[in-house]
């Protein structure tokens, strides 16, 4: 399919041909949900930890004699039911990652791109280049174009001025094409691809 290309000034910059196999799919929410869950699980630190009864610093001596007190039978004060004792079945350091086939991950990215295309939230620009690293100037340009909540995907190498100018603008993310991912695409309203990013994606899924 043919798609219009714009400049960052809002002017026409020709057309580009997009593959239906990448941008023309009927988006499936179940595949996108699986991918987002996989990404968030992989991102989770899993460093939460509590001390069990074998790890708390407390005496291990029997609290009082077994018989004759009229009280319940207890041994160690480290038991979970006592104040200062260990935590029963508490969280331990672990990885939250789970498997997701590589083909499903690749398919999810194509569905995310197709979802942006279908909702008319996909914009293609000729290049992501700023004359100087001035946040105010770039923010004004974004406001005119309606890029208040957007993900910008550039080529393999990002323009340093554009990257520096955009990094302080709220709700705007800038990534090279090799960093494109489903979660970041879905969490932003608009997806802005450079022509170099489109070419790289076409090559990747060829």
Neighbours of 201 (CB within 10 A): 21
* pLDDT at residue 12, rounded to an integer: 80
Distance CA 118, CA 27 (A): 8
The confidence score (pLDDT) of residue 29 equals 95
How far apart (Å, rounded) are the C-alpha atoms in residues 100 and 166?
33
pLDDT at 108: 97
Task: Report pLDDT for 34.
Answer: 97
Domain extent listing, the chain: 2-45+97-204, 50-90
Name residue 172's beta-bridge partners: 150
What are the pLDDT tens digits along the chain (206 aa)?
A: 888 888 888 788 888 888 889 999 999 999 999 999 999 999 999 999 999 999 999 998 999 999 999 999 999 999 999 999 999 999 999 999 999 999 999 999 999 999 999 999 999 998 888 888 889 988 888 888 888 899 999 988 898 999 999 998 999 999 999 999 999 999 999 999 999 999 999 999 88
Assigned fold of 2-45+97-204: Ribosomal Protein L4; Chain: A; (3.40.1370)
Q: Which of 70, 20, 6 is nearest to 202 (CA)?
A: 20
């Amino acid at each position: 399919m043919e798609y219009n290309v714009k400049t960052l000034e809002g002017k026409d910059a020709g057309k580009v041909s997009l593959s239906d196999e990448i941008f023309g799919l009927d988006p499936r929410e179940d595949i996108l949900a699986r991918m987002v869950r996989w990404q968030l699980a992989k991102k989770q630190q899993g460093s939460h930890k509590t001390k069990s009864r074998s790890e708390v610093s407390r005496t291990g001596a029997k609290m009082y004699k077994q018989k004759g007190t009229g009280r319940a039978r207890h041994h160690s004060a480290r038991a979970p039911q006592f104040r200062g004792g260990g935590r029963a079945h508490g969280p331990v350091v672990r990885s939250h990652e789970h498997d997701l086939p590589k083909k499903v991950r690749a398919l999810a990215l194509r569905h995310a791109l197709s979802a942006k295309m279908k909702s008319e939230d996909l914009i293609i620009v000729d290049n992501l280049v700023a004359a100087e690293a001035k946040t105010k100037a770039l923010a004004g340009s974004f406001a005119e174009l309606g890029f208040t909540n957007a993900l910008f995907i550039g080529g393999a190498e990002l323009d340093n001025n554009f990257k520096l100018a955009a990094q302080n603008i709220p709700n705007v993310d800038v990534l090279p094409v090799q960093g494109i991912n489903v979660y970041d695409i879905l969490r932003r309203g608009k997806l802005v691809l450079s022509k170099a990013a489109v070419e790289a994606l076409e090559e990747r899924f060829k």
